[in-house]
Amino acid sequence: VRRVTLCDLDPQMTQLAAENPFFRGLNRDALNDNERVKVVEAAVSPGKSYTVFSKNDKYLWRGGYDSVATVHVVNMDAARFVERISGMYDVIIVDFPDPNAPDLAKLYSKTFYEHLRKKLSRDGLMIQQSTSPYHAREVFLSIGKTMRDAGLSTVPLKDNVPSFGEWGWWIAGRAENYSPGRIKKALRGIKNIAVETRYLTAPLIRANLVFPRDALNDDDIRVNTLGNSVIYHYYLNAWQNE
Protein backbone atom coordinates (compact mmCIF):
# COMPACT_ATOMS: atom_id res chain seq x y z
CA VAL A 1 0.00 0.00 0.00
CA ARG A 2 1.45 3.33 -1.06
CA ARG A 3 -1.52 5.70 -0.79
CA VAL A 4 -4.72 5.76 1.27
CA THR A 5 -7.59 8.25 0.98
CA LEU A 6 -9.99 8.31 3.92
CA CYS A 7 -13.30 10.09 3.35
CA ASP A 8 -15.56 10.82 6.33
CA LEU A 9 -18.34 13.37 6.50
CA ASP A 10 -17.70 14.33 10.13
CA PRO A 11 -14.31 15.91 10.97
CA GLN A 12 -14.94 15.16 14.64
CA MET A 13 -14.84 11.44 13.86
CA THR A 14 -11.42 11.63 12.23
CA GLN A 15 -10.28 13.95 15.02
CA LEU A 16 -11.42 11.35 17.55
CA ALA A 17 -9.31 8.73 15.75
CA ALA A 18 -6.33 11.06 15.99
CA GLU A 19 -6.72 12.14 19.63
CA ASN A 20 -8.56 9.51 21.66
CA PRO A 21 -6.01 7.28 23.45
CA PHE A 22 -7.99 4.10 22.82
CA PHE A 23 -8.32 4.70 19.08
CA ARG A 24 -4.74 5.92 18.83
CA GLY A 25 -3.68 2.57 20.22
CA LEU A 26 -5.79 0.70 17.68
CA ASN A 27 -4.57 2.71 14.69
CA ARG A 28 -0.98 3.03 15.98
CA ASP A 29 -1.15 6.81 15.79
CA ALA A 30 -1.69 6.67 12.04
CA LEU A 31 -3.74 9.90 12.15
CA ASN A 32 -1.94 11.67 14.97
CA ASP A 33 0.95 13.34 13.16
CA ASN A 34 0.01 16.59 11.45
CA GLU A 35 3.29 16.57 9.55
CA ARG A 36 2.50 13.24 7.96
CA VAL A 37 -1.26 13.30 7.41
CA LYS A 38 -2.93 15.85 5.18
CA VAL A 39 -6.44 16.85 6.25
CA VAL A 40 -8.46 18.33 3.40
CA GLU A 41 -11.49 20.27 4.60
CA ALA A 42 -12.89 21.98 1.52
CA ALA A 43 -11.26 20.44 -1.53
CA VAL A 44 -11.11 17.09 -3.22
CA SER A 45 -7.61 17.23 -4.63
CA PRO A 46 -5.49 16.55 -1.53
CA GLY A 47 -2.38 18.39 -2.70
CA LYS A 48 0.92 17.48 -1.08
CA SER A 49 1.26 13.92 0.18
CA TYR A 50 2.39 13.12 3.69
CA THR A 51 3.88 9.82 4.74
CA VAL A 52 2.67 7.69 7.62
CA PHE A 53 5.28 5.51 9.28
CA SER A 54 4.54 2.18 10.89
CA LYS A 55 5.29 1.87 14.58
CA ASN A 56 4.97 -1.91 14.48
CA ASP A 57 8.34 -3.42 15.40
CA LYS A 58 8.14 -5.59 12.31
CA TYR A 59 8.67 -2.51 10.17
CA LEU A 60 11.61 -1.05 12.06
CA TRP A 61 14.59 -0.63 9.76
CA ARG A 62 18.03 0.73 10.65
CA GLY A 63 16.70 2.24 13.83
CA GLY A 64 14.00 4.26 12.09
CA TYR A 65 10.50 3.83 10.79
CA ASP A 66 9.82 2.31 7.41
CA SER A 67 7.48 4.32 5.20
CA VAL A 68 4.32 2.30 4.50
CA ALA A 69 1.72 4.68 3.05
CA THR A 70 0.64 8.23 2.42
CA VAL A 71 -2.74 9.12 3.90
CA HIS A 72 -5.17 11.84 2.87
CA VAL A 73 -8.13 12.58 5.12
CA VAL A 74 -11.06 14.20 3.31
CA ASN A 75 -14.00 15.45 5.37
CA MET A 76 -16.91 15.79 2.99
CA ASP A 77 -20.06 14.04 1.79
CA ALA A 78 -19.16 10.74 0.12
CA ALA A 79 -21.52 11.31 -2.82
CA ARG A 80 -19.77 14.60 -3.65
CA PHE A 81 -16.41 12.97 -3.08
CA VAL A 82 -16.84 10.18 -5.64
CA GLU A 83 -18.17 12.66 -8.20
CA ARG A 84 -15.15 14.95 -7.90
CA ILE A 85 -12.12 12.91 -6.87
CA SER A 86 -9.58 12.20 -9.59
CA GLY A 87 -7.52 9.07 -10.11
CA MET A 88 -8.16 5.34 -9.81
CA TYR A 89 -8.13 3.03 -6.80
CA ASP A 90 -7.07 -0.61 -6.55
CA VAL A 91 -9.13 -1.19 -3.39
CA ILE A 92 -12.28 0.62 -2.27
CA ILE A 93 -13.74 -0.11 1.18
CA VAL A 94 -17.25 1.26 1.75
CA ASP A 95 -18.42 1.22 5.37
CA PHE A 96 -21.46 3.49 5.58
CA PRO A 97 -24.18 3.45 8.22
CA ASP A 98 -27.19 1.38 7.20
CA PRO A 99 -29.65 3.16 4.85
CA ASN A 100 -31.96 4.15 7.70
CA ALA A 101 -32.64 7.65 6.34
CA PRO A 102 -33.38 9.07 2.86
CA ASP A 103 -30.06 10.96 2.82
CA LEU A 104 -28.19 7.70 3.42
CA ALA A 105 -30.16 5.86 0.75
CA LYS A 106 -28.39 7.91 -1.95
CA LEU A 107 -25.09 6.31 -0.89
CA TYR A 108 -26.52 2.93 -1.92
CA SER A 109 -27.92 4.13 -5.25
CA LYS A 110 -27.12 3.01 -8.78
CA THR A 111 -25.69 6.46 -9.50
CA PHE A 112 -23.30 6.23 -6.56
CA TYR A 113 -22.05 2.79 -7.62
CA GLU A 114 -21.60 4.00 -11.20
CA HIS A 115 -19.30 6.72 -9.89
CA LEU A 116 -17.43 4.19 -7.73
CA ARG A 117 -17.01 1.85 -10.68
CA LYS A 118 -15.31 4.63 -12.65
CA LYS A 119 -12.81 5.09 -9.80
CA LEU A 120 -12.03 1.37 -9.54
CA SER A 121 -8.97 0.26 -11.48
CA ARG A 122 -9.29 -2.52 -14.06
CA ASP A 123 -8.04 -5.18 -11.64
CA GLY A 124 -9.34 -3.42 -8.53
CA LEU A 125 -11.87 -4.75 -6.04
CA MET A 126 -14.30 -3.07 -3.69
CA ILE A 127 -16.24 -4.29 -0.67
CA GLN A 128 -19.49 -2.83 0.65
CA GLN A 129 -20.95 -3.10 4.16
CA SER A 130 -24.46 -4.38 3.43
CA THR A 131 -26.41 -4.81 6.70
CA SER A 132 -27.83 -8.19 7.75
CA PRO A 133 -28.76 -10.77 5.09
CA TYR A 134 -30.91 -12.43 7.74
CA HIS A 135 -32.68 -9.56 9.52
CA ALA A 136 -32.83 -7.24 6.49
CA ARG A 137 -32.72 -9.64 3.55
CA GLU A 138 -34.41 -7.29 1.05
CA VAL A 139 -31.93 -4.52 1.87
CA PHE A 140 -28.99 -6.86 1.45
CA LEU A 141 -30.23 -8.18 -1.89
CA SER A 142 -31.10 -4.71 -3.18
CA ILE A 143 -27.54 -3.55 -2.54
CA GLY A 144 -26.09 -6.41 -4.56
CA LYS A 145 -28.61 -6.03 -7.38
CA THR A 146 -28.00 -2.28 -7.56
CA MET A 147 -24.24 -2.79 -7.75
CA ARG A 148 -24.68 -5.25 -10.62
CA ASP A 149 -26.98 -2.83 -12.44
CA ALA A 150 -24.19 -0.25 -12.18
CA GLY A 151 -21.74 -2.50 -14.04
CA LEU A 152 -20.12 -4.45 -11.22
CA SER A 153 -19.75 -8.21 -10.76
CA THR A 154 -20.65 -9.11 -7.19
CA VAL A 155 -20.15 -11.92 -4.71
CA PRO A 156 -21.94 -12.00 -1.31
CA LEU A 157 -20.20 -12.68 1.99
CA LYS A 158 -21.57 -13.12 5.50
CA ASP A 159 -20.27 -13.66 9.00
CA ASN A 160 -21.55 -13.59 12.55
CA VAL A 161 -20.49 -10.36 14.24
CA PRO A 162 -20.93 -10.62 18.05
CA SER A 163 -22.33 -7.10 18.44
CA PHE A 164 -24.62 -7.28 15.37
CA GLY A 165 -25.42 -10.92 14.63
CA GLU A 166 -25.48 -12.28 11.09
CA TRP A 167 -23.97 -9.55 8.88
CA GLY A 168 -23.25 -9.25 5.19
CA TRP A 169 -21.01 -7.66 2.60
CA TRP A 170 -20.71 -7.59 -1.18
CA ILE A 171 -17.30 -7.81 -2.81
CA ALA A 172 -17.17 -6.58 -6.40
CA GLY A 173 -15.04 -5.80 -9.43
CA ARG A 174 -15.67 -4.21 -12.81
CA ALA A 175 -17.97 -6.51 -14.79
CA GLU A 176 -15.87 -6.30 -17.95
CA ASN A 177 -12.89 -7.77 -16.12
CA TYR A 178 -14.37 -9.90 -13.34
CA SER A 179 -17.05 -12.55 -13.25
CA PRO A 180 -18.58 -13.72 -9.97
CA GLY A 181 -16.91 -17.06 -10.61
CA ARG A 182 -13.48 -15.47 -10.87
CA ILE A 183 -13.92 -13.62 -7.58
CA LYS A 184 -15.18 -16.75 -5.81
CA LYS A 185 -12.30 -18.81 -7.18
CA ALA A 186 -9.79 -16.27 -5.86
CA LEU A 187 -11.40 -16.23 -2.41
CA ARG A 188 -11.63 -20.02 -2.23
CA GLY A 189 -8.02 -20.28 -3.34
CA ILE A 190 -6.67 -18.35 -0.35
CA LYS A 191 -4.55 -20.79 1.66
CA ASN A 192 -2.76 -18.39 3.97
CA ILE A 193 -3.27 -14.77 5.03
CA ALA A 194 -0.06 -12.81 4.61
CA VAL A 195 -0.68 -10.43 7.51
CA GLU A 196 -1.27 -11.20 11.17
CA THR A 197 -4.96 -11.42 12.11
CA ARG A 198 -6.79 -11.89 15.39
CA TYR A 199 -9.94 -13.43 13.91
CA LEU A 200 -9.91 -13.99 10.15
CA THR A 201 -8.61 -17.28 8.75
CA ALA A 202 -8.49 -18.74 5.25
CA PRO A 203 -11.10 -21.45 6.05
CA LEU A 204 -13.39 -18.77 7.48
CA ILE A 205 -13.21 -16.80 4.22
CA ARG A 206 -14.38 -19.89 2.34
CA ALA A 207 -17.17 -20.50 4.87
CA ASN A 208 -18.36 -16.90 4.50
CA LEU A 209 -19.28 -17.62 0.88
CA VAL A 210 -21.92 -20.20 1.85
CA PHE A 211 -25.56 -19.06 2.02
CA PRO A 212 -28.75 -21.06 2.66
CA ARG A 213 -30.87 -22.28 -0.23
CA ASP A 214 -32.84 -19.47 -1.93
CA ALA A 215 -31.36 -16.85 0.40
CA LEU A 216 -29.98 -14.96 -2.61
CA ASN A 217 -33.10 -15.08 -4.80
CA ASP A 218 -33.66 -11.44 -5.78
CA ASP A 219 -36.30 -11.81 -8.52
CA ASP A 220 -38.73 -9.56 -6.64
CA ILE A 221 -36.10 -7.09 -5.41
CA ARG A 222 -35.83 -3.62 -6.94
CA VAL A 223 -32.72 -1.63 -7.85
CA ASN A 224 -32.20 1.39 -5.59
CA THR A 225 -32.04 4.72 -7.45
CA LEU A 226 -31.93 8.37 -6.48
CA GLY A 227 -35.53 8.63 -7.64
CA ASN A 228 -37.10 5.78 -5.68
CA SER A 229 -34.96 5.35 -2.50
CA VAL A 230 -36.49 1.88 -2.32
CA ILE A 231 -33.71 0.63 -0.07
CA TYR A 232 -34.84 3.03 2.67
CA HIS A 233 -38.34 1.55 2.58
CA TYR A 234 -36.92 -1.98 2.56
CA TYR A 235 -34.89 -1.06 5.63
CA LEU A 236 -37.81 0.42 7.57
CA ASN A 237 -39.97 -2.59 6.81
CA ALA A 238 -37.26 -5.08 7.80
CA TRP A 239 -36.36 -3.64 11.19
CA GLN A 240 -39.90 -2.64 12.17
CA ASN A 241 -40.89 -6.27 11.79
CA GLU A 242 -38.08 -7.51 14.04
By C-alpha distance, which of 111, 120, 78 is closest to 224?
Answer: 111
66 is catalytic: no
Do the Cβ atoms of 73 and 27 come closer than 8 Å? no
Q: Which amino acid is at 143?
A: I
Q: Which position among 95, 214, 219, 220 bears the catalytic label?
A: 95
Cα–Cα dist 214/189, whole Å: 25
Cα–Cα dist 117/219, whole Å: 24
Cα–Cα dist 161/142, whole Å: 21
Q: Quote the Cα angle for 179-89-51, to 5°.
A: 145
Q: What are the residue numbers of the active site? A: 95
